[in-house]
Structure 1
Amino acid sequence: MRKRLVDLLLSTKKSNRIAKNIYKTTFHKNLLISYNVNHFLIKNTAHTNYYESHIIAKYFSEIGYNIDVVSFDNPRNFDLTYYDVIFGFGLPLEKSFTNNKSIKRIYYATGAHVCHQNSAEIKRIQAVNRGKNTFLKPKRIIQWTWSQSSSMSDALVIIGNEWTQSTYQPYTDSPIYTLNATSLFYNSSIILNRDISVAKQHFLWFGSGGLIHKGLDLCLEFFSQHPHLHLHICGPKEDDFYKVFHDELQLANIHTHGFVQVDSDDFLHIVRQCLFTIMPSCSEGQSTSLLTTMATGLIPIASIESGKTLNTLGITIETLSLEGIEHSINTAAMLSDTELVALSHANRNEIFLNHTLETFEKQIRNIFSSIEL
């Protein structure tokens, strides 16, 4: 997901600075990246966004552009006519449409289209408020004005799959290129052995902010009715959500772990207990948290809107409802231990084959070579 970047920026020092000519080159063409300037001011190797940013910038430099970088929410007014190409999203890209100069614009989408994302989250929030007689508010609303860039840019590069792409197609006739997200768990030498007979009763919800957006409420509704199954929750605590779902969160089969670092022993301990990862999100580009847990050998039970095509890798949640969750988990329960072991290995292999920084770089180079720059 766009959500991946927003989450990261919330946990890092924001800056209105412009990182000028980051490679100190003397080319005749100039390119602005509107994404996250902190990736070029602060070293943060704990998140793949950092590496992805440098992969993108390095490619543009290799083909002859001086590179400046700003953050997508930079409110400053600066001369955008200086640039031949603008890559990214947010305020700088939106402001570029007021210039008379012909600038090549490449929209970088890390989430589903704003028109889908906003309406999808609002519908989920409404469902919870009506069911719980409360008044929770959306957590992941994106500015509607950003949709201008997704319609009027010369090309769109989207993190996600065919479903993610489909949320953009009604709003543009520009070429759309899809790109795989990368897993935060990238140590392929770590192999987790599980007691399948026990682990298949344990499910992991691993996500970031916007707990209703990512379907934690649906998981709590189901697991509160099935005490023999265990739900492990790794993610931020949203006080209003925790207040509304206080009773469910106190149940013996609901285990809250808070925010857990992927490179920690705590994370390994939790994923070793589980066999399934569950993500009933209403809107993603491609869920990094889902990919990260799949890399540890967890079998995905995920919505279509998670942005990862499962095919034979796991079980798709067809509807974002209690019935949809129940049907998916019942389907998982019908699999034999032999099938579960095979699926666990297949998911691990899938991530280390198609969702690494190496594959990200290959895809970036293939995509940009197809765009006339």
Structure 2
Amino acid sequence: MGIKRRLQDYRLYRLVREITWTIKKYSTSNPVEKIVNLKPSGPSKGDVLLARANDAFLLKPGEPFPTTHQLFWEAYQQAMVFLDLGYAVDVVHYLNRQFVPQKDYVLFVGTLWNMERLSPLLDKNCVKLAHLVTAHPLFSYTAKLKRYLALQERRGVSLTPQKQSWDTLKAMEFADGATVLGNEFTVSTYRHTRKPLRRVPTAVPHSYPWFHEKDFERCKNHFLFLSGEGMVHKGLDLILEVFASMPQFTLTVCGPVLKEEDFVRAYHRELYETENIKLVGWVDVSSQKFQEIATECVGLLHPSCSEGCSTAVVTCMHAGLIPIVSYESSVDVSPDSGIILRKSSIEE
């Protein structure tokens, strides 16, 4: 189902279906501390606790649905599924550390550290389902440090590794099962739990028109790097070194590179003094600027060392770019549609 149809469904739920929405407000106006109570149109089969982003449930009348991140839509859609099934839903922000359950919930769906914190407070019969959006932290951290060590060996510099999130380290020790964003790679990092793991597709909040006027002959040597924070984790160091030695190809770099000062110092020549490499910085993927960049490039490069289905990759595929990505980017790519890098080495 397309984004337009889903947004129509969103309005349908807000304006037509008689769902009772109640927001419990604390003394603070902080939305993180608000609890959203959703009631089905008929008799309730029980209560479900959802620890996800609550932003989509706090919109004012006429306020557009947030599209800055897919987690808003995912949380909303999860709640709608449970309502459709006849369950009442309490939505607690995943960053709310003060919430204490006051009901006997039949199901708890949580992200990050919420599984570890809230599970002991729930009824023993409550089914606990973790929602995992990254590879296991131990795998991810190990893979990241290997990248930094390899960079140190190649360039003779020691960069400070980006902060590692440990929020899901013990989640599966408390959960009965999990939904996992990503493909078999991400799932494999949780196999040790010997608990049910169900893959779910990642949501992309933007769709793009097909660029009929795109000149593939002209852009066949132009490539894009797009990512969030963690340039070494995402493999930008490898890409810069490759393109610096291949002047016949051009690279456009989009992402918060300037936030990582030691990386910028280490790769100043490639970022600022190499003619075939253009540093754009962070770009809004809903903007016209991003669409123009996508039109000028033939493919996306994303040799990340660990992901839970890279949204950057899926977004660029939606924008018509051919993916050249690592296996650890956790996106299924058929051989006739792109390239999966197995080693993500400079030589490869």
TM-aligned CA deviation for residue 203 of structure 1: 0.7
TM-aligned CA deviation for residue 299 of structure 1: 1.0
Structure 1 window deviating more from structure 2 (25-34 vs 59-68): it is 25-34
Query: Taking structure 1 as reference, are residues 77 and 272 closer, same or farther at Cα in structure 2, changes over 3 Å only?
Result: closer
TM-aligned CA deviation for residue 23 of structure 1: 4.3
TM-aligned CA deviation for residue 45 of structure 1: 3.4
Matched, 1:315 2:339: yes
Query: Taking structure 1 as reference, are residues 70 and 243 closer, same or farther at Cα in structure 2, changes over 3 Å only?
Result: farther
TM-aligned CA deviation for residue 322 of structure 1: 1.0
Look up the equivalent residue of 1:275 and give its one-letter code: V
Query: Taking structure 1 as reference, are residues 218 and 80 closer, same or farther at Cα in structure 2, changes over 3 Å only?
Result: farther
Partner of 1:166: 188
Partner of 1:87: 109
The number of residues matched between the two structures is 309
User: Is 2:37–2:90's contact at 8 Å kept on the other side of the alignment?
Assistant: yes
Partner of 2:77: 55
Alignment gaps of 5+ in structure 1 = 1-12, 325-373
**Partner SS, residue 168 of structure 2:** helix
**Partner SS, residue 204 of structure 1:** strand
Q: Deviations over 1:113-153 (max 9, x none)?
A: 2221121112212322343333322325121x633222441
Structure 1 window deviating more from structure 2 (215-224 vs 154-163): it is 154-163
Look up the equivalent residue of 2:344 and give its one-letter code: L
Partner of 2:237: 217
TM-score by length of 2: 0.81
Partner of 1:297: 320
Partner of 2:143: 120
Match of 1:204 among 224, 239, 254: 224
Look up the equivalent residue of 2:154 and give its one-letter code: G
Q: Deviations over 1:24-73 (max 9, x none)?
A: 87736222111212332355134333222111011112223222222323
Query: Superposition RMSD on alpha carbons, in Å?
Result: 2.3
Separation of aligned partners in 1, 2:154 and 2:132: 33
Match of 1:180 among 178, 198, 201: 201
Partner of 2:53: 36
**Partner SS, residue 212 of structure 1:** helix
Match of 1:156 among 162, 165, 178: 178
The higher relative CO (CA closer than 8 Å, separation ≥ 6) is in: 1
Alignment gaps of 5+ in structure 2 = 1-28, 60-64
TM-aligned CA deviation for residue 298 of structure 1: 1.2
TM-aligned CA deviation for residue 96 of structure 1: 2.7
Indicate the percent of aligned positions where both proteins have the same amino acid.
30
TM-aligned CA deviation for residue 193 of structure 1: 3.0
Query: Taking structure 1 as reference, are residues 235 and 65 closer, same or farther at Cα in structure 2, changes over 3 Å only?
Result: same
Separation of aligned partners in 2, 1:153 and 1:267: 39
Determine which structure has the larger helix proportion and give its number: 1
**Partner SS, residue 33 of structure 1:** strand
**Partner SS, residue 67 of structure 1:** strand
Separation of aligned partners in 2, 1:66 and 1:294: 36
Partner of 2:162: 139
Separation of aligned partners in 2, 1:80 and 1:93: 16
Partner of 1:350: none
Look up the equivalent residue of 1:223 and give its one-letter code: F
Rg larger for: 2
Partner of 1:357: none
TM-aligned CA deviation for residue 214 of structure 1: 0.7
Separation of aligned partners in 2, 1:54 and 1:175: 24
